[in-house]
Amino acid sequence: MLGREEGSSEKLITYVTDRAGHDLRYAIDSSKLKNELGWEPSLQFEEGIEKTVKWYLDNKEWMDRVTSGDYQEYYKKIYN
C-alpha cells in the first residue's frame, strides 16, 4: 500500500521481551458478545486491518491534523 518492496517494512519492527507479570499473549474471546448479544465481527482481522490502513492512507489530511498536536491545544482551551 505504501509502494515499498514487499517485506521491507518488516525491518521497522522492533521486538522486545515481555515484561514480567504481563500476559505472554493477547487474545479476545468474543463468545460472550455472540452468546448474549448476538454480535459477530463482520470482517476477519486481516481484511479489517487492511481497510483500516487504507482509510488512514486515504485520509492523510485528517491524520496530519490529529498528529500535529493542534487538537490538544483546542481541548485545553475548551476544557481548562
Q: What is the pLDDT of residue 33?
A: 92
Q: What is the pLDDT of residue 24?
A: 66
Q: How confident is the model at residue 30 (pLDDT cuts 50, 70, 90)?
A: confident
Residues 40-60 pLDDT 10s: 989 999 999 999 999 999 999
- pTM above 0.75? no
User: How far, in Å, CA of 5 to CA of 11, rounded?
Assistant: 11
Bigger pLDDT: 73 vs 43: 43
Q: State which amino acid sits at residue 54.
A: K
- Residue pair 41/30 in contact by the 8 Å Cβ criterion: yes
Q: What is the pLDDT of residue 67?
A: 87
pLDDT higher than 90, residue 36:
yes
**Selection from 51, 10, 45, 15 nearest residue 27 by Cα:** 45
